[in-house]
Every structure is written in C-alpha cells, then in structure tokens.
Amino acid sequence: MVSAAEQLAANLNFSALGKAEELKKRIWFTLGALLVYRLGTYIPLPGIDPTAWDQIFRTQAGGILGMFNMFAGGGIQRMAIFALNIMPYISASIIIQLMTTVSPTLEQLKKEGEQGRKMINQYTRYLTVVLAAFQAFGIAVGLEGAGNVISDPGWFFRISAVLTLTGGTMFLMWLGEQITSRGVGNGISLIIFAGIVAELPSAIAGTLELGRQGALSTALILGVIVMAVVVIAFIVYMERAQRRLLIQYPKRQVGNQMFEGQSSHLPLKLNTSGVIPPIFASSLLLLPATVANFNAGQGANWLTTLTTQLSHGRPAFMILYVALIVFFAFFYTAIVFNPTETADNLKKHGGFIPGIRPGERTAEYIDYVLTRITVVGAAYLSIVCLIPEILISYAAVPFYFGGTSLLIVVSVTMDTVAQIQGYLLAHQYEGLIKKSKLRGRRR
C-alpha cells in the first residue's frame, strides 16, 4: 500500500508552484538579489582606467587571475566594486572552523546551540573585514604597479579602493545571508553559482572563436562538450550516492497495545562535504597571489616564483589543490556529522544496528563506514577538479568547462531544486490538511 508521503512525492510537480504564494515570493526575492549582485559586477572601481586594465587582464587571464575572475563573476576583468566577491568570507569561515578544533573557547561556543553559533558567525564577519581589507590593499598596490591603470596613484586611491572593495564584500555577505533566510537555497553558494553561469556564454563564445581561428580543433571542441556531459552525469550520480545503514527498532508496548519492531535506514552521503572542499581549496590558493601584489615591481623574486608555480596546470598547483580538497573533505565531514551524537540518539530512541552493540561500538562503526566512504568522496572530488587543470595544461581550453565549475553549478542546482521541492511538498501537505478539516466540518 502506498503511503500518503509517497503518493505526494509521486504527484509532485512544478505546476503546484502557481498556488504556493510563499515559495513564489522566495524565488522572486532570490532572483532580485542575484540581479543586484550581477549589476554590481559591472560598476568599476573609482580611479581606474577600465580599458587599460582589460588589456592587462587579457594577457594574464590564463593564470590565477582567470580562476579568481571565474568565482568573481567577471568582476576582476572589469575590476568592479564586487571584485573580491565573497572569497574573503569563505577564507574567514575556513580559519574560524579550524580554530574551533584547537580553541577551547570557540569549541565551547559551538556547543552552546543557537547563541553560540551567532557569536561564531559574528567572529567570522569581523575576520572577513580584516581579510577583505588585506586583499583589497594588495589589489590596490598591484594596480598601481601595473602601468597606466590608475589615473592618480597614491594613498587616496589605496584607501578608497580598500573601503570600496571591503564594502562590496560585506554587502555580498549580507546579501547571501538574506537569500538563505528569505529566499531559496544557500545564498553564498548561489552567488558563486550566478557568477559562473553568467560568464559561461562568453566562455563558450571564446572557445568557438578559437575553433574558428584554428587554435582549437573541431574534434577537441566536440570532445570537451562530450566530456562536460559525462562529468555532469558523473557528478549527479556521485552526489546522489548513499551508503545506507540498516537501523532496527525492537518491539514496544504502549498501554495495552504491542507494536511490532520496525526497521529504517541511516543514509550516509558519499560526498558529505558537498562543494565546500573545492571552494575552500581554491580560496586558499588565491592568497599567495594577493601577497605577491604587495611587492609588485619591488624585486621579490621568491614571491614571483611562488605565484608562477601555483598557476593553473603547474604540478605544484595540482598537488596542493588535491591535498587541500582531501583535507577539507575529511575536515568538513567531521564538522557536519558527529558519529557519537548519532549513536547516542539511536540509543535514546531504542534503535540499533544489527550485530553492533549500541553506544560506543555503534559510534565506532558509523565512524569507520563514514571514513571509508569519505575516501571515495574525496577521490571523486579530486578527479573532477583536476579535469580543468589537465585541459588548461595540454589543450588551452577555458576552465569554465572543467570539473570545478561544473561541480559547483550542478551541486548548487540540485540543492536548490531539492529545497523548492521541499516547499512544494509542504504546501501540498497543508492543502490536504485543510481539505480534510473542511470535510470533517461538513460531516
């Protein structure tokens, strides 16, 4: 017999969207917020010559600037007020989360529930301001040393650039939080998603132009298209993959009634960390380029060598990129999933894994299984994210077609659609409840 929940899920379709007023408001709010973000990527930084900077950018677009520009939605190429995007916020989140594992104060705040999380979020915002100001100053110094980009170089330009770029980052951070609370999906992820998707048409046009000029063969372009389709299918399959642990509940008596034992499953996602590891790894790899800007034109050879070795396609970049992805895959999984807490909840409700003693043994078993599937998840992320590096090294293909951007786009799309379906399902449940009440009153 089909349950009510299964029947609703089977009949769920987006035609119900027209009746879900709350969901429509959330979707329109999300679209409006993303439109504001896109408009901000076209407002240039005061005091620069956009034409001169665009010429300089095109000569260095294949390096770290191109990667930064992808996450900034083209804001770096136009040197817009949102050029830093939300990368300082992501870097601050990494640092704060790392500190929670070593700082007793932050660890205690994390355990205090909602109030503690608010304090940690506040510390993250403060650190975001510091990192954004640091990176903005590096950009300002780098622009002054880039030639005739700045019409009136000096401390006035540096201070105004720092204030503008830092303010842009803080506004995007606030906008992302508003999307999360009042819109649909995760606001921070959607901002990155919008930036990548918005620049995708120009990347496609650029690739086709290279094919027309003979720089890229037709076979290679078709191969890239096929590869993109295969990678998308692979990402969808791996993101939906789960390891289900059988949970058994014993017989129980409520009053004079005896209820039979039930069984369910504890789903463990193959990639519990989601798209966070590639974003965190990319964010950290952008920091050396920012530091190098402080010494632009001052003969800091070791910084120049460092940024050169950490450019796309270089072995050092690939090795460090994979190492950071693997580290953050395990680290973020450990943060979002606590085997001990899960085992305690199962024990509290009388659930157990067949053949495993409740309590500590169950926690050890869950941790064992989670570690094994996280190894597979980290390998999957590494393989997908190395694809653009190989294409850049050997084929000079724009990395918008690569695994990192596709991973972000597909994952964010899946999460957002799942949240929309959740709203629609809740709306249909409310409609059924109202109908049943009306029928009861008529009777």
pLDDT tens track for 327-377 = 989 988 888 888 888 888 888 878 888 888 888 888 899 999 999 999 999
User: Domain boundaries in the chain?
Assistant: 4-442
CATH entry, 4-442, from 1.10.3370.10, 2.130.10.10, 1.20.120.1200, 1.10.357.10 = 1.10.3370.10
How many whole angstroms separate alpha carbon 69 and alpha carbon 77?
A: 6
**What pLDDT does residue 10 have?**
42
- Give the rounded percent of residues in the chain with a pLDDT score beyond 70: 78
Cβ–Cβ < 8 Å for 224, 208:
no
Burial 197-233 (b: 16+ CB within 10 A, else e): bebbeebeeebeebeeeeebeeebbeebeebbeebbe
C-alpha to C-alpha distance for 413 and 425, rounded to whole angstroms: 18
In this predicted structure, which of 32-46, 168-182, 399-413 has the lowest mean pLDDT? 399-413
CB 344 within 8 A of CB 401: no
Phi, psi of 428 (to 5 degrees): -65, -35
What digits encode the pLDDT tens for the residues 222-280? 877 888 888 888 888 998 888 888 888 776 655 666 666 677 888 888 888 888 888 77
> Between 81 and 13, where is the model more confident?
81
Say if CB 416 and CB 190 are below 8 A apart: yes
The partner residues of 267 in beta bridges, in order of sequence, read 244
Q: Which of 107, 83, 248 is nearest to 172 (CA)?
A: 83
- Tell me what pLDDT residue 112 has: 75
Task: Say if pTM beats, i.e. exceeds, 0.75.
Answer: yes
Q: Which residues does residue 259 pair with via DSSP β-bridges, in sequence order?
A: 252
Of residues 283 and 166, which shows the higher confidence score? 166
Of the ranges 168-177, 214-223, 267-276, which one carries the lowest mean pLDDT score?
A: 214-223
Select from 63, 41, 38 the least CA-distant residue to 50: 41
The predicted model gives 56-66 an average pLDDT of: 67
Mean pLDDT, range 315-336, rounded to an integer: 86
Of residues 209 and 5, which shows the higher confidence score? 209
H or E element that contains 247: strand 242-249
Closest CA to 280 of 231, 319, 329: 329
